[in-house]
Amino acid sequence: MINIIHTKSEMQAEVARWRDAGLSVALVPTMGSLHEGHLSLVQQAALQADRVVVSIYVNPSQFAENEDFDKYPRTLDDDVKKLEKTGQCHAVYAPSSMYDDQHSTMVVPAGAADGLESLTRPHFFTGVATIVLKLFQHVPAHIALFGEKDFQQLSVVRQMTQNLDLQIEIIGAATVRDTHGLAVSSRNHYLSADQLSIAPQLYQQLCIIAQRITQGDAQERVIADAQHALLNAGFDEVDYLEICDAVTLKPAQNNRQGPIRILAAVRLGKTRLIDNIALDQSDTLA
Ligand code: PAF
């Protein structure tokens, strides 16, 4: 049976007991509604640590007023069942709230947080960085795992960990895709059958971009063609489609050096999908 912990003091005490016994601890931060992507993080966490904690908390500070905070699926009982089936999760941390009424301090990241997601969701990384820092205090683990699907989030968390000298190692894990290539995401549940047939074309276009850039085609032409192809395929809007330095997330130059990441956010009806791939699939930042 997985231990379900609701309070900071109990969570910290449990981790302290494990650490005192010489056990290593991994944290997998989530907002619940667990899918294959989360379960693969748990699996990788279990390979790298003796104890695995999955946190489940829908963080209000990373949602803007017009976003889906109220609608976001809350499925704790199902999530715990899925985690129990893995046999690899030792505790679920499910606090009822992470902010008291007097909460007034936020972490405001720049650098990797600039551009891309922040163009349309300027509040987002402040909310993410603040909650992740708090989670690291509540679950003082040795390592924390984040999916590469949210590549900018992973970069922001790495940057914060380094900049603020946090005593935790950040591990990035490859995106899990369905058989059509669509990156697995909690928000895929919002897609209709028609939209589900369009959605995998986002990944296909990212692969075409990577192939053409590798062949030496000019970035501007390749991006313009891919944008056109996405709109033709039925996506309603392309929020961004960019070729970036994989570490700084600044736009990559045509005479690029070092690892490159291609990142995109698109809208399909009311649903916003994000995805990204490495230009060279052998580039992993884990
Ligand atoms: O990726 C998520 O599920 C969330 O942004 C995170 C990292 C759990 C913070 O709320």
State the total domains in the chain.
Answer: 2
- Which ligand 1 atom sits nearest the alpha carbon of residue 57? 10
Identify whether residues 101 and 14 lie together within a single domain. Answer: yes
Identify whether residues 7 and 145 lie together within a single domain. Answer: yes
Last residue of a domain, one of 114, 143, 173: 173
Choose one of 68, 93, 132 to mutate for the ligand 1 pocket test, by most ligand atoms within 8 angstroms of C-beta.
Answer: 132
Of 110, 179, 182, whose CA–CA distance to 149 is shortest?
182
Identify whether residues 17 and 156 lie together within a single domain. Answer: yes
- Residue 181 falls inside a structural domain: no
- Residue 204 falls inside a structural domain: yes
User: What span, in angstroms and rounded, lies between the C-alpha atoms of 18 and 10?
Assistant: 13
CA 137 – ligand 1 centroid, Å: 15
- Residue 239 falls inside a structural domain: yes
pLDDT at 55: 99
User: What span, in angstroms and rounded, lies between the C-alpha atoms of 217 and 205?
Assistant: 15
- Average pLDDT per consecutive 10 residues, the chain (286 residues; last block may be shorter): 97 98 98 97 98 98 93 95 98 97 98 97 98 98 98 98 98 97 94 97 98 95 98 98 96 82 97 96 53
Contact between residue 134 and residue 17 where contact means Cβ atoms under 8 Å apart: no
- Residue 180 falls inside a structural domain: no
Identify whether residues 159 and 22 lie together within a single domain. Answer: yes
Residue position matching structure tokens 């699907």: 149
pLDDT at 40: 98
pLDDT at 41: 98
Identify whether residues 127 and 9 lie together within a single domain. Answer: yes
Nearest residue by C-alpha to atom 1 in ligand 1 = 30
pLDDT at 31: 97
Identify whether residues 218 and 159 lie together within a single domain. Answer: no
Identify whether residues 31 and 150 lie together within a single domain. Answer: yes
Enumerate the β-bridge partners of residue 157.
none
CATH code for the domain of 220: 3.30.1300.10
pLDDT at 253: 81
Nearest residue by C-alpha to atom 9 in ligand 1 = 128
pLDDT at 225: 98
- Which ligand 1 atom sits nearest the alpha carbon of residue 147? 1
- Residue 90 falls inside a structural domain: yes
Enumerate the β-bridge partners of residue 276.
263
Q: What is the span of the domain harbouring residue 139?
A: 3-173
Q: Which residues of 7-27 are buried (b: 16+ CB within 10 A; e: fewer)?
A: ebeebeebbeebeeeeeebbb
- Residue 76 falls inside a structural domain: yes
Beta strands at 51-56 and 237-245: parallel, antiparallel or unpaired: unpaired
Please name the amino acid found at residue 25: V
pLDDT at 42: 98
Identify whether residues 165 and 249 lie together within a single domain. Answer: no
